[in-house]
Amino acid sequence: MNRTLTIVGLSYCLLHLSLSTAISAPPDANYDEAKVPEYTLPDPLVAADGASVDDPAEWISKRRPEILELFKTHVYGRSPDAPKRLQYELTSIDRQALGGKATRKEIAIKLGDAPNAPSMNLLLYLPNDVSKPVPVFLGLNFKGNHTIHSDPGITLSEVWSRPSKGRAGEKKRGSEKSRGTSASRWPVETIIDRGYGLGTIYYGDIDPDFHDGFKNGVHPHHDKHESAERPADAWGSIAAWAWGLSRAMDYFERDDDVDQKKVAVLGHSRLGKTSLWAGATDPRFALVISNDSGCGGAALSRRRFGEKVKRINTSFPHWFCGNFDKYNDNEAALPVDQHMLIALIAPRPVYIASAAEDQWADPRGEFLSGLHADPVYRLLGTDGIATKEMPKVDQPSHSAISYHVRTGKHDLTAFDWGQYLDRADTIFQGSATPAK
C-alpha cells in the first residue's frame, strides 16, 4: 500500500492512503542511523542450553525447532494443523485465457473439515505450450483476485470493507470497475511468458484484516480454547494468512500441472511478513520472497528504526500473538530477532527486497537480517549472502540469501518481479548452489 508521510516542522502527521489503513507515525519514529540503539542479537547458532551448534544435523534436530517454537510463542502464535481432509473444487477453467497463452483455473479450497468452514478462492494461471508441470509463484493479494488483471473471466471476489463509524466490516462482491486495479503489481503475461504459473488468493478469504476479537475468518473454526480469554500464543492474522498459503500448497500437491517442488511464495508488505512466516513454517516452499516486509517481517526489531514493535502492535492488534505485546518498547528482551526468521528458511533460497524511499520498513534492517542469517545458510552448505556491505540502490545481490534495495516507494514493481524471475530461473533451472 502507498503511504504518504507529511512532516510539518517538529510536529508530524501521517495521512493515509489507499486501503483505509490508518497508521500514525509517532513523533519518536527514528529515521536517523546515528540514533539506532546499540543492540546484541541472539545467536542463531547457540542453543538454549548454551551449546554452540556447529553441524547441520544439530541445527535441524535441535536448534531450528527451538527457534521455530520461540517465534510461535512470542511473535506470530501457534497455528492449527492442516484440515484432516483436503476439500477443493475446480470452479472454473479456461484453457484459452489471455489470448490463448494461458490456462486460467479457479479453485475453491476449504479451510477446515466442518461443513461451515470458510473457503478461499485460488486463481491460478498456467502457461500453455510448455511442458508441464511448471514452477509457480504463489502470493496473496490485498483487494480481490479480480484486481490483479483486467481478464473479464476472473470471478469478482467478495471483498471485506473495514469497520468504520460504528459499522461492522462487511463482505461485498467486488465491482466490475475494480477489475485490474492492482495490475501493476501482478505482471501476469510476463510471468506466463517466462514459463511460470501464478497462483493468488484474496487474503480476506482467509482472515479479514481488521480486529474483531478473532470472530471472523478462519480463527473461530480452529480455535479450541474454552476460556473466554485467548491464549497469549494463539495465532494472529499473519499466521492465519500463512496457514492459508500452506493450504494452497496442499492443493498444488494434487494438481499435475504444478511442479510442487518449485513453488515460490511471495508477498508484499504485511503479506511479505506473511510469506516469510509461511516459508519458515512450511518447508515445501522452495523459494521465499519478502517484498518490503519491514517490522515483523525482514527488518530487525532491535534497531527500532521506522516502524517499531509497539507501533505495529497498536495499529494492528490482530496481526501477531498476544505475547508479542510484551516487547513493546522492550525489543532487547525478545528471545529472537528477525534474522532468525530468515534462518528458519535455510537452506532454501530467500529473497529480501527493500525500497529506498520505504524508510518506515527499514531497508538496512531488512538487509541485516539476511546478513545475520548467513552463518546458518553457510552451515547448511549454501553460498549464504554474497556481500557483507549493504548493496547500493538498484544493484541486486543474488545468492542463497538475495537482497536488493531499489529506487522508489513502498510497492511491488516490475523491477522487483524482474529480479524474482531471474532468481527463480537460476534456482529452478539448476544453476544455483544446491541446498544440501
C-beta atoms surrounding 180 within 10 Å: 16
Q: Is 348 in the site for ligand GTR (CB under 6 A)?
A: no
* Closest C-alpha to 195, from 293, 127, 94: 127
Q: Is 23 in the site for ligand GTR (CB under 6 A)?
A: yes
Q: Is 232 in the site for ligand GTR (CB under 6 A)?
A: no
Which one, 23 or 340, has the nearer CB to ligand GTR?
A: 23
Identify the residue among 21, 92, 190, 246 touching ligand GTR (CB under 6 A).
21
Determine whether 150 is an active site residue: no
Given 269, 275, 293, 402, the catalytic residue:
269
Determine whether 227 is an active site residue: no
Q: Is 25 in the site for ligand GTR (CB under 6 A)?
A: no
* Closest C-alpha to 349, from 375, 321, 383: 383
Identify the residue among 154, 288, 295, 373 touching ligand GTR (CB under 6 A).
295
Q: How open is the CA angle 361-365-370, to the nearest 5 degrees?
A: 120
Q: Is 294 in the site for ligand GTR (CB under 6 A)?
A: yes
Which one, 297 or 384, has the nearer CB to ligand GTR?
A: 297
Residue 141 burial (10 A CB sphere; 0-12, 13-18, 19+): buried
Q: Is 1 in the site for ligand GTR (CB under 6 A)?
A: yes
C-beta atoms surrounding 375 within 10 Å: 18
Q: Which residues have a Cβ under 8 Å from the Cβ of 236 and sit 6 or more positions away?
A: 76, 77, 318, 319, 320, 321, 324
Identify the residue among 239, 312, 340, 341 touching ligand GTR (CB under 6 A).
312
- Residue 28 CB, nearest approach to ligand GTR (Å): 15
Q: Is 77 in the site for ligand GTR (CB under 6 A)?
A: no
Compute how many residues bind ligand GTR; rule: CB under 6 A: 9
DSSP string, 138-184: EEEESS-GGGS---TTSPPPEEEPPPBTTBPP-EEEPPGGGTTTTGG
- Alpha-carbon separation of residue 154 from 93, 125, 201 (angstroms): 10, 11, 12
Rounded CA-CA distance 398/404 in Å is: 8
Site for ligand GTR in 262-281 (CB under 6 A): 269-270
- Cβ atoms of 119 and 110 within 8 Å: the answer is yes
Residue with cell 518490503: 292
Q: Is 307 in the site for ligand GTR (CB under 6 A)?
A: yes
Which one, 79 or 237, has the nearer CB to ligand GTR?
A: 237
Which one, 112 or 294, has the nearer CB to ligand GTR?
A: 294
- Residue 298 CB, nearest approach to ligand GTR (Å): 11
Site of interaction with ligand GTR (CB under 6 A): 1, 21, 23, 269-270, 294-295, 307, 312
Residues annotated as part of the active site: 269, 410
